[in-house]
Amino acid sequence: MRWGVILCLAALPNALWASEPVALPPDAFPTPDSALVTLGRDLFYDPILSGNQNIACATCHHPTLGTSDGLSLGLGEGGSGLGTAREVLDGQMPRARIPRNAPALWNVGAKEYVVMFHDGRVMLDPDAPLGIRMPEGRELPAPVSSALAAQVILPLLSPEEMAGIAGENPVADRVAKEEIKGENGAWALIAERVAAIPSYQERFERIVKRAPEITDIGEALAAFIQFEFRAANSPWDQYLAGESAALEPAAQRGALLFFGEAECGSCHSGAFFTDHGFHAIGIPQIGPGKAKAAGLPSYADIGRQAITGDSEDRYRFHTPSLRMVGLTAPYGHSGAYPTLESVVRHHLAPLESLMTYDRAQALLPAVGLGDDWGAMNDQEELLNIAEAIELPSRDLSDAAVADIVAFLNALTDKKAAKGRLGIPENVPSGLAVDR
Ligand code: HEC
Ligand code: HEC
């Protein structure tokens, strides 16, 4: 592997590297138990995990939509259909849009992924209880093997994503009363629902030797994601392994720019093109808002600062991986940009791009759910976002931008995109599977 890298780098003319390309190490991924993987697959596609049994993980992380939902901000529980065709079910109006873009799940199962969510509110931390930081009131009830296995038990509790609204179902009722852990908590209730289905009960008995607990469900979902959503063999990987013809000339020029003059690799670093860190790059803010700070309007989203309390972290968001990025539009934590070209151009002139953002680019299901443009209509909030930007502007020709986009598209593993196990025909609950 190392030799391949060195050979190929030597083949690139006059490379002046601001940062270094890194090949994927052969042991980048864990090898989950196959019985746990297939169990996790069923759970991932099964609406049984949602309070009103009308939405699955796959609804927002669908393989036909690059393991995301194809929307800037999605519609959670109460909706029906996938992607831009998603609409509201009769009498089940969701209360709000999901406040952030659904990230793709490619490679989040790799060993080096220890930070989850756009703001990193779940992460490995030796000082946290059981070694993983969780949001307040959502601490882990038992140890789990990865940050991913901890993350996946949280969407179940979100009223807008999967739980539903108090009065609609017992899970939502308990969430509304903040009864999460313990025998009568929302997590236990969800695990009981799963255990009540014989096929799930039998398989968990075989693997963990008891009725499933919520953390077992988390481990199964994580095992599936680790196995299914691996994207490790793109033209770029083949190129690094010594096949110089694998990368078309435009993508080769794009690679030189990416790691060189355009300095993309300073944040999108390493084998997965992320430093797993947080940066403020001024992506336009859309929708109901998320992490608020004292004195800020509800439609704001200050990102990482809401987790650390550190003013340095204001409007910082997690650096996304760029593997498979050609399949995962729209882009940014709010999904503001629908194309690779538009989000790359944003990076080159972040302030101007924020201030002149064309709202027609946002992909939002046409459902009246309050004002989506509070932040963008608020000059003060716009200036707050602008002031935090830490990305320098950069002059690149149109041809250079096209080359960078060609390089980004060469990070797609086309075979992985088809899936390994794929979408199940049906799931043990008998509920409908999104296809
Ligand atoms: C209604 C849509 C929706 C549903 C349903 C949903 N998610 Fe997500 N998921 C999101 C959004 C939005 C985020 C980002 C939230 C944030 O960062 O604040 C996310 C984040 C994640 C992440 C973190 C990825 C990363 O790069 O940090 C993982 C893993 C994940 N979801 C897995 C799941 C699993 C497993 C399920 C089912 C138990 C699920 N999701 C259900 C929308 C959804
Ligand atoms: C200062 C660190 C930094 C640098 C330098 C940087 N990026 Fe980013 N990039 C980010 C962050 C942070 C985000 C996500 C921002 C958000 O969600 O609000 C991002 C988002 C993206 C996305 C959207 C990915 C997605 O899944 O939403 C693409 C594509 C991208 N960057 C490409 C590039 C390219 C190409 C360059 C070089 C021209 C570059 N980046 C330079 C930090 C950086």
The per-residue pLDDT for range 388-414, each reduced to its tens digit, is: 999 999 999 999 999 999 999 999 999
Nearest in space to 17 (alpha carbons), one of 196, 245, 261 = 261
With beta carbons less than 8 A apart as the criterion, state whether 133 and 93 touch: no
Average pLDDT over residues 430-434: 96
Structure token pair of residue 107: 């490679």
In the predicted model, is pLDDT for residue 14 greater than 90? no
CB-based pocket (< 6 A), ligand 1: 49, 55, 57, 59-61, 74, 76, 98, 100, 102-103, 105, 108, 116-118, 148, 151-152, 155-156, 161-162, 221
Round to whole Å and give the CA distance between 159 and 175.
8
Find the 203 Cα to ligand 1 centroid distance in Å. Answer: 25
Arithmetic mean of pLDDT over the chain: 93
**Is the domain of 312 the same as that of 169?**
no
Residue 248 exposed, middle or buried by CB count within 10 Å (0-12, 13-18, 19+): middle
Q: Which amino acid is residue 2, in one-letter code?
A: R
Answer whether 186 contacts ligand 2 (Cβ < 6 A). Answer: no
Mutate to test the pocket of ligand 2, among 266, 272, 273, 279 (most ligand atoms within 8 A of CB): 279
Q: Could you give the CA distance from residue 101 to residue 86 in angstroms, rounded to a whole number?
A: 15
**pLDDT surpassing 50 at residue 357:** yes
pLDDT at 17: 59
Q: Are residues 244 and 305 in the same domain?
A: yes
Amino acid at 310: D
Tokens linked to 406? 């060609």
How many angstroms does the Cα of residue 103 sit away from the middle of ligand 1? 7
Query: Which residue segment(s) compose the domain that 205 sits in?
Result: 34-68+103-229
Mean pLDDT of 19-42: 96
3-state class of 76 per DSSP? coil
Strands 115-116 and 278-279: unpaired
Asked, for residue 85, whether it belongs to a domain, the answer is no
Residue nearest to atom 3 of ligand 2 (CA): 267
Closest atom, ligand 2, to C-alpha of 348: 38
| Ligand 1 midpoint to CA 93 (Å) | 21
* Residues in contact with 106: Cβ distance below 8 Å, sequence separation at least 6, in sequence order: 66, 67, 229, 230, 231, 321, 323, 324, 328, 416
401 lines ligand 2 (CB under 6 A): no
How far, in Å, is the centroid of ligand 2 from the Cα of 346? 9
Distance, CA 151 to ligand 1 centroid (Å)?
A: 8
Do 164 and 255 lie in one domain? The reply is no
Q: How far apart are CA 359 and CA 370, in angstroms?
A: 16
Q: Which of 197, 229, 261 marks a domain boundary?
A: 229
Assess whether 222 and 253 both reside in one domain.
no
Residue 225 in any domain: the answer is: yes
Is residue 280 included in any domain, yes or no? Answer: yes
For the residues 234-262, what does the mean pLDDT come to?
Answer: 97
pLDDT given for residue 293 in this prediction: 72
Rounded to an integer, the average pLDDT of 235-248 is 96
The reply to whether 249 and 310 lie within a common domain is yes
Q: Which ligand is nearest to the CA of 333?
A: 2
Best residue among 68, 119, 316, 319 to mutate for probing ligand 2's pocket (most ligand atoms within 8 Å of CB) is: 319
Task: Answer whether 274's CB lies under 8 Å from 268's CB.
Answer: yes
> Is residue 363 domain-resident?
yes
CA of 400 to the centre of ligand 1 (A): 34
CATH number for the domain that contains residue 340: 1.10.760.10
Which atom of ligand 2 lies nearest, measured to the CA of 331? 27
Say how many Å lie between the CA of residue 102 and the centre of ligand 1.
6
Tell me the β-bridge partners of 337: 331
The predicted model gives 127-131 an average pLDDT of 96
39-47 mean pLDDT: 98
d(CA 92, CA 94): 6
Residue 350 has pLDDT above 90, yes or no: yes
* Domain-embedded: residue 54: yes
Distance CA 368, CA 360 (A): 16
Q: Does 254 reside within a domain?
A: yes
Write the pLDDT tens digit of every residue in 193-221.
999 999 999 999 999 999 999 999 999 99
In residues, how long is the chain?
Answer: 435
Residue 19 lies in a domain: no
Where does residue 99 rank: exposed (0-12), middle (13-18), buried (19+ CB within 10 A)? Answer: buried
Burial class (CB in 10 A: 0-12, 13-18, 19+), 120: buried
Cα of 318 vs centre of ligand 2, distance in Å, is 9
Whether 206 maps to a domain, the answer reads yes
Tell whether 275 and 166 lie within a shared domain. Answer: no
Nearest ligand to the CA of 106 is 1
pLDDT at 308: 95
**Residue 303 sits in the same domain as residue 345:** yes
Flag whether pLDDT at 11 surpasses 80: no
Closest to 271 (Cα-Cα) out of 29, 42, 78, 16: 29
385 and 343 in a common domain:
yes
CA distance 155 to 215: 13
Of 7-21, 127-141, 347-361, the one with minimum mean pLDDT is 7-21
| Ligand approaching nearest to the C-alpha of 408 | 2
**Any idea which of 27-36, 80-89, 262-271, 291-300 has the lowest mean pLDDT?**
291-300
pLDDT in tens, 60-103: 999 999 999 999 999 999 888 999 888 887 777 777 899 999 99
Choose one of 229, 261, 280: the last residue of a domain: 229
Last residue of a domain, one of 209, 229, 249: 229
Distances (CA, A) of 55 to 47, 60, 363, 382: 5, 9, 20, 34
Among 115, 117, 276, which residue has the most ligand 1 atoms within 8 Å of its CB, making it the best to mutate?
A: 117
End-to-end CA distance of the chain: 38
The closest-lying atom of ligand 2 relative to the alpha carbon of residue 391 is 1
Does 372 lie in the same domain as 311? yes
* Dist. CA 278 → ligand 2 center (Å): 10
Same domain flag for 109 and 171? yes
Residues 396 and 373 reside in one and the same domain: yes
Look at ligand 1, atom 9, and give the residue with the nearest C-alpha: 102
Number of domains observed in the structure of the chain = 2
β-bridge mates for residue 278, sequence order: 318
d(CA 409, CA 246): 12
Task: Report how far ligand 1's centroid is from the alpha carbon of 109 (Å).
Answer: 13
Same domain, yes or no: 308 and 163: no
For ligand 1, the distance from its centroid to the CA atom of residue 155, given in whole angstroms, is 6
Cα–Cα dist 92/169, whole Å: 13
Q: Cβ(318)–Cβ(267) under 8 Å?
A: no
